[in-house]
Structure 1
Amino acid sequence: MVKPSRPLGVVLALLLPVLLALTVTAPARAAAPGTAAKQYLVSGPATAGQRTAVARTGAAIDAVRPDGTLEVSAIPSEIAAIRKLGHTVTVLAAPKPSATAAATSYHTFAEMQASLNATVAAYPQIARKVVIGQSYQGRDIVGVKISDNVATDENEPEALYIANIHARERLTAETALDLIATLTQGYAGNTRIRDLVNTREIWIFPMVNPDGQVYDMTSDTQPGRMWRKNRQPAAVDLNRNFPYRWGCCGGSSGNSGSETYRGPSAESAPETRVLTNFVRSRVVGGRQQIKVFLDIHSYGNLVLWPFGYTYSDTVPGALSADEEATHRTIGRQLAASNGFTPQQASDLYITDGTTDDWTWGDQRIFSFTFELGGGGFYPAPSRIDALVAGVRDSLLRMTEYADCPYRAIGKQAQYCSA
């Protein structure tokens, strides 16, 4: 892993998230304050339709094992509903602490901020810190812009990367921080990286659910609380709260206790509004400047693309044959690079109100999700370097496509010549 800077002053800064965590508001649900759903193994579902039926109970499908069994996070009423579908459900053991290192081997929110500060101080010509808004509890949603002439809004294609929208998916933030380090530290000596930085504007936000991340990471037991959502009183699954086909298709839950609770309305979560407002702000002269988008998740070893709300490969007026072919071709190339399985999001199961469906369906940004590997939400810290390194090339490949994604299907002259 290309090591992000971690200044010694971070030790003092670590006190801040601990104090903030003491003031968090418990979500409105019958369980004890701060209790997350438990993980279960579900045997029986074998098709996308059967997996969708499981997801429609409100359970979050965390991963599909090679044998087809599902790892899910769910509350008791959802488990009862899954059993009524005829499936076998067993409790999975809670994640155990690593014997090699404490959870702080993953960046805390304070350490992430310190790393970004150190990066922009070391590479001021190509890296600029950006704060695009605040979370429910008032934490900054912060990232970096990387480009030559970084202080200028140039007419260059843009790429957007976000991570840690689900609080417990800590490896995603490490991946985003590694991309930042790769682009900045490699700029001087790597021609491929220098060409990308000189011809793109790259936005990277490592922790877009900071309240949830802080709450998950300040657990009284290690490695974490298994927390997924934000920290509003009725906590919201941010990746079901986006305003495209929100709540349309049984791909989210209306139960505030569910791990996939979509919120009372689209964009009801402040973190969602911060992200959508930022993406809308990149429409310049009537044209969206962001050309490729990636939402980094864990831990299913997948490359996904829109749509999630429908099983249809194409949708009249929303996803043409060429647009679908471009997504599919790039997705397969990215998967060939990182070893993941490529598929349309709905091939897994139906979801609605997701980031990718909105960034493509509303903004026409070619959009993807990585489900990183690791076998769980808290891989041993000793595995971070290898897991992050495994996707590094695919992230650069995706950035290369920002100039013209249609190049993937040989139709750049038709779509990108203007």
Structure 2
Amino acid sequence: MLVHVEYQTDEKLNWLVSEFDVLEHADREKGYVAMLVEPESYERLLDEGFAVEIQHGPTEELANVISGFRSIGGYACYRTVEETATTMSTLNTDYSDLVELVDMGDSWNKVTPGGASGYDIAGMIVTNENIAGPKPRFFLMGSIHAREYAPAELAIRFAEQMVTDYGTDPDATWLLDNFELHVLPHANPDGRKIAEQGYTQRKNRNTSKGWCSYPPTSYSQHGVDLNRNHSFKFGGAGSSSSSCNLTYRKSSASEPETQALQTYMSSIFADQRGPDDSDAAPDDTTGLMITLHSYSPLVLFPWSWSASGAPNLAELRTLGRKFGYHNGYPVCQTPVCLYAASGTTDDWAYGTLGVAAFTFELGDSFFQSCATFESTIEPDNIAALRDAFKAARRPYQTPAGPDAVSVAVSASPVTAGTSVTLTANVDDTRYDSNGWGSEATQNIAAARYTVDQASWSGATLNAMAATDGTFNSTVEGVTATIDTTGWAVGRYLLMVEGQDADGNWGAPSAVFLDVQ
């Protein structure tokens, strides 16, 4: 059954998290948390004195799904582990200059003899390999919790879109020319194969504790919760030492999947933060990671282990509110709006390396309907992920600046020698926490464009003027006249950026100009 359980204190909430299958869905104001329970657990909650409300509609939906072994029947929009690997291999073949396959490590089954064959922790790097680096990096991973269908699919779709849009979409083009996208759709492939059969498997496939339930239940299942197994702040609140519990942590970084993640992220991101909890990463830190989960629409940022603010709290919150503008999700710190969790992936990435790290909780179901995924979750979050990719070079600086949107040229293609008008809107208001505070906005102070090169790579900077003659509001139309005399025949990329009154330059947006 899916139930809402009322709690009166944080101590009781933490106890619930350590004892039951508590979901990433809670209402702090109303004082309840969502849980999956079997009849035995339901009776135990009542015996412990908790008020428990059965959610009959979602419970009926779960009953229709959890009916034994099968493929992902009724969920044609979600690729299996094998189908995802095939997609990545096909992209690598068809777009060899843009896609490189990467084996980050092995699953528990694969490193453990005598059982199932297991899987590679398989991902890919997406960038224009003809342009040398080093380049800023965005690491996107999905479905570390096996039963969460939507995250893996969103990750692979985002990567697919970036690859297939290269050369036709201006933003995809400059991003892959200048940045690297590292994608891991299935961070827990062994567990995912169980979930694909209709079970609510959360953990990996570690069966070293042989007395747990199989098939898995909401109160007992084999495995380790990989999102409680990371070595940073391991073993604290929101994790369990009971091997069959769904938040079982085992020992620090004990699992091959966790080791693969930590090793890989350490190989692509420099350590940019000091050793103390109070050490902030520098303003010019590079690198960003997002781990995709479901369900409960939320954008979460560190710390997860403690309600105290992370040293880069203001910067993390600003970037999170950029995401919230697109997906409409509440943007908040995990223990403040949900509950504390220790040994998590995002805390490890930020705490160990200093990179900006976030968790997206997608939608309103583990087994999210394809109709909802494709009409809402995918388009809203693809836009947020594009903003994340744009912020990867300076995640603690760029999001404070305004967005350049609606970038356009008056004509394209044009004959060399023609004057072309470049226009855009520069907007410093595109933030939304969806109920968790407001972001200060500033008037636009300046705008500029570059041709074929990013502003930070030595390009010539060309000023743009306010369309109404004065920079004096938080949203400004901007314009420039471009004389193409002497331009060779070909396609040019015009990148527009805006600056606010506090001196913050935002991320570029681009348009193509074809000269013939």
Tell me the residue number matched to 1:241: 229
Amino acid at match of 2:182: W
Q: Residue 78 of structure 2 aligns with which residue? A: 106
Cα distance between partner residues in 2 of 1:84 and 1:355: 35
Does the 8 Å contact 1:176/1:206 carry over to 2? yes
Give the residue type in structure 2 aligned to 1:54. Answer: L
- Aligned pair 1:161/2:115, yes or no? no
Cα shift readout 1:379-406 (whole Å, capped 9, x = no counterpart): 2233332221221100000111111112
Moved more, 164-173 or 143-152: 143-152
Counterpart residue number, 1:10: none
Match of 1:276 in 2: 262
Q: Deviations over 1:295-347 (max 9, x none)?
A: 0001100000000111112xxxxx32xx1100011111111111111000111
Contact kept? 1:59, 1:78, Cα under 8 Å: no
Question: Per-residue deviation at 1:199?
Answer: 1.2
For 1:300-319, list aligned pairs within 5 A: 300-313=296-309, 319=310
Larger Rg: 2
Amino acid at match of 1:336: Y
* CA distance 1:231–1:102, shift in 2 (3 Å): same
Between the aligned partners of 1:238 and 1:150, the Cα distance in structure 2 is: 36
If each structure's helix is expressed as a fraction of its own residues, which one has the higher value? 1
Identify which of 171, 174, 192 aligns with 2:153. Answer: 174
CA contact (8 A) 1:42 1:87 kept: no
Candidates 251, 259, 262, aligned match of 2:246: 259
8 A Cα contact 2:3 2:36, kept in partner: no
Per-residue displacement from partner, 1:176-195 (whole Å, max 9, x unpaired)?
01101110011111111111
Note closer, same or farther for the CA distance 1:199–1:46 as it changes in structure 2 (3 Å cut).
farther
In 2 relative to 1, CA 397–43 (structure 1 residues): closer, same or farther, beyond 3 Å? Answer: same
List per-residue Cα deviations over 1:100-153 (Å, max 9, x = no partner): 96245421111001111111112111111111111011211111101111796x
CA 1:60 to 1:345, structure 2 compared with 1: closer, same or farther past 3 Å?
same
SS of the counterpart of 1:357?
A: helix
Q: Quick one: distance in 1 between partners of 2:31 and 2:325?
A: 22
2:318 maps to a residue whose letter is T
| Contact 1:244/1:358 (<8 A) preserved | yes
Name 1:23's counterpart in structure 2. none
Q: Which residue, 317, 330, 345 being the options, matches 1:341?
A: 330
The 1-side partners of 2:244 and 2:39 are apart by 10
User: RMSD of the TM alignment (CA)?
Assistant: 2.8
Q: 1:259-292 deviations in whole A, cap 9, x for unaligned?
A: 11111x11111100011111112256x6699610
The answer for the alignment partner of 1:228 in structure 2 is 202
Q: Which residue of 1 aligns with 2:49?
A: 86
SS at match of 2:259: helix
Q: d(CA) in 2 for partners of 1:384 and 1:119?
A: 23
Identity of aligned residues (%): 27
In structure 1, list runs of 5 or more residues that go unmatched.
1-38, 314-318, 414-418
Offset at 1:366? 0.6
Match status 1:96 vs 2:64: yes
**What is the CA distance between 1:56 and its match in structure 2?**
3.2
Distance across 2 between alignment mates of 1:151 and 1:272:
32
* Count of matched residue positions in the alignment of Structure 1 and Structure 2: 358
Match runs of 1:292-331 below 5 Å = 292-313=288-309, 319-320=310-311, 323-331=312-320
Higher strand proportion, which one? 2
Relative contact order: is structure 1 or structure 2 higher (C-alpha 8 Å, sep ≥ 6)?
1
CA contact (8 A) 2:2 2:35 kept: yes
Q: What is residue 97 of structure 2 aligned with on the other side?
A: 125
SS of the equivalent of 1:111 reads: helix
Distance 1:85 1:329 in 2: 41
SS at match of 2:396: helix
The answer to whether structure 1 residue 392 and structure 2 residue 401 are counterparts is: no
SS in 2 for 1:247: coil
Taking the TM superposition and a 5 Å limit, the aligned residue runs for 1:175-194 are 175-194=154-173
Q: Cα–Cα, structure 1 residues 299 and 47, in superposed 2: closer, same or farther, change >3 Å?
A: farther
Instruction: State the alpha-carbon separation in 2 of the partners of residues 151 and 229 from structure 1.
Output: 40
TM-fit CA distance, 1:216: 1.4
Confirm whether residue 202 of structure 1 aligns to residue 181 of structure 2: yes
CA distance in 2, matches of 1:173, 1:129: 16
Matched, 1:214 2:193: yes
Tell me which residue corresponds to 1:9. none
TM-score between both structures, scaled by the size of structure 1: 0.79
Query: Are 1:376 and 2:365 an aligned pair?
Result: yes
Q: How does 1:34-49 map to 2 (within 5 A)?
A: 39-45=1-7
Cα distance in 2 between the residues matched to 1:67 and 1:283: 40
With over 3 angstroms needed to count, the CA separation of the structure-2 counterparts of 1:95 and 1:79, relative to structure 1, is closer
Please state whether the residue corresponding to 1:115 is helix, strand or coil: helix
CA distance in 2: counterparts of 1:360 and 1:246, whole angstroms: 14
Q: Which blocks of at least 5 consecutive residues in structure 2 are unaligned?
A: 67-71, 111-118, 210-222, 274-284, 402-501, 505-516
CA distance in 2, matches of 1:412, 1:61: 42
Equivalent residue in structure 1 for 2:22, among 28, 47, 60? 60
